[in-house]
Amino acid sequence: MSGHIINSIWEDTSRCVHFSALKGNKSTDVLIVGGGIAGILCAHKLKKAGVDCILVEAAEICGGITKNTTAKITLSHGLIYDKMIRRFGEDKARLYAEAQRDAIKEYAQLCQDIDCDFKSRDSYVYSLDDRKKIEKEVAALNSIGVSAEFSEAGELPFSVAGAVRIKNQAEFHPLKFLYAIARNLPIHEHTKIVELMPHKAVTEHGEINYKKLVIATHFPILNKHGLYPLKLYQHRSYVLAITGAQKMDGMYVDESATGLSFRSYGDILLIGGGSHRTGKQGGCWQELENFVRRYYKNADIVGKWATQDCMTLDGIPYIGQYSKLTPDVLVTTGFNKWGMTNAMISANILCDIVQGRTNPYTGVFSPSRTMLRPQLAVNAFESMIGLLTPTAPRCPHLGCALKYNRTEHTWDCPCHGSRFTEHGELIDNPATDDNRSLR
C-alpha cells in the first residue's frame, strides 16, 4: 500500500532536453540564474522580445521544485481575496487577480501549439467546517470582477461546509510544456555560479559579463541585499499519486494550510497535503496514506514525492528589483504554493523592467514593500532559535542548526529551508554548497 518514493509522474512521462555547460567567457544583456519554470519563462519572453540573454542552471533545468508541482493554473489561491481586500484594499486585490487571469490566458495561448495535456478545469477552494468563510470569499471575488459561485463540491469523497468555485481555470503537464519551450533557448546546464560581482558572474569554467541579472533560484541566493532570509520561509508538502479512485473533473484545495488538495491526471488522482514548515514536524506521506486507506480502499499508490515552497510575509510573491541598492539585479521568488501563474507573471514583469517599460502589476509584487507583517516575528524567532541551538550539524547558509527529517532521511534547516542528504549533498537552497560537516 505504501508505495515507494519515485520520481514525480511528470518526470516519468516526459522526455527531457539537455544543454551543454558553459565553457569560456561570454557577455550578455541579461543573465538569468535558475532553470526552473520562472527562469525558463523569463528567458522565453526575453528572447521573443529580441533581448540578448543567457540562462544558467547549476544542475539540470526543471530539476528542482518545478518537477514536483501539481500543476494547477489558477487564480484561486486559497481564501486570499477577502483577506487581501481587508488588508490592502480592493484595487490591489483586483490587480493581483487580473495578473493571475492574464497568466492563465497566456498559458492557454502558448499551449495551443504544445502537446502538454492542457485542459480547462473548474477550480474549488473548500472549507470543511466554515460556510461563512466561503460565502465571504465568493462575495469578495465578485466585488473585484472575478466570477465566483458557492458550491457543495460534490466530487470530493467527504462532505464539506462549502466551496468557492471559479470556472475556466486550467491544468497541464508542466515538464512537457517547459521542455518544449526551453528547446531553442540560450541555456547552459551544469553551470554553477561560484561568485557574483556587479555586472560579472564567475562560473567554474568561465565568466559572464551582464548588464542586468535575474535571480530565479527559488530562494534568492544573495544574502547581502533585500533581507530575504527574514522575508521568506519554506514549507514542505507531499503528494501521492493513486489509481483505482474516481476521476475528478475539478481541481480542489482546502482553505486550511494543513488540508488536502486533489486533481486528476488521466486515470491517476493526485492528492497533496501533510504540509509543515521545513525542518518542523508534519503529517507527511503518512497522513496521505491514512486518508487513502480510509476513503479509497481499492486504490494503488503508484507514486509519492514531496515539494517545497517559498512563502512570503503577506502571501504575495516578490517580483522586481532585488533591493533598493541593486538597480540592475532583479528577483522572482515566494510563490506561496502557486508557482504556475506566478512564474508567468514574473516573466512579464521582469521583461518589462529589463526593457524600461511600465507594467501595471509592478507595485503589487514589489520586493521593497513593507515587511511589517506578523509572519516577520515568526521568521525572526525561528532564525534566532536555529542560531542559538547548540548542536551540530549546522547549515552552511547562515549557520542555523539542522534538524533530521526521519520521513525523508534528510537534514533540513528550519530557519530558511535548505536541505541536505544524510551524506551532506545539497538538495534545496538557499545554501549553495554541499554540507561538509555531514560527511
339-372 pLDDT, tens digit per residue, is 999 999 999 999 999 999 999 999 999 999 999 9
Q: 141: helix, coil or strand?
A: helix
Work out the burial of residue 207: count CB atoms within 10 Å of its CB; fewer than 13 is exposed, 13-18 middle, 19 or more buried: middle
Q: What is the DSSP string of 266-314?
A: TTEEEEEEEEEETTS---HHHHHHHHHHHH-TT-EEEEEEEEEEEEESS
Place of cell 486507506: 293
Residues near 162 by beta carbon (within 8 Å), at least 6 away in sequence: 126, 127, 131, 134, 135, 150, 151, 152, 153
Q: Which of 31, 35, 60 is nearest to 190 (CA)?
A: 60
Answer whether 345's CB lies under 8 Å from 100's CB.
yes
**Helix count (H) and strand count (E) of the chain?**
11, 21
**CA-to-CA distance for 163 and 150, rounded, in angstroms?**
6
Residue 4 has a pLDDT of 56
> What is the per-residue burial (b if ≥16 Cβ within 10 Å, else e) of 110-148?
bbeebebbbbebbbbbbbeeeeebbbbbbebbeebebeb
Residue 2 has a pLDDT of 47
Low-confidence ranges of the chain (pLDDT < 50): 1-2
Residue 1 has a pLDDT of 41
Phi, psi of 316 (to 5 degrees): -115, 135
31-44 pLDDT, tens digit per residue, is 999 999 999 999 99
Prediction pTM value: 0.97
Phi, psi of 7 (to 5 degrees): -65, 160
Q: Which of 275, 251, 255, 279 is nearest to 383 (CA)?
A: 279
Place of cell 530565479: 216
Q: Where is 171: in which H helix or E strand?
A: strand 162-171
CATH of 374-438, one of 1.10.10.10, 3.10.20.30, 1.10.3300.10, 2.102.10.10: 2.102.10.10
Place of cell 501539481: 70
DSSP state of 146: -
**CA-to-CA distance for 309 and 278, rounded, in angstroms?**
9
DSSP state of 401: B
Cα dihedral 167, 246, 5, 408 in deg (nearest 10): 60
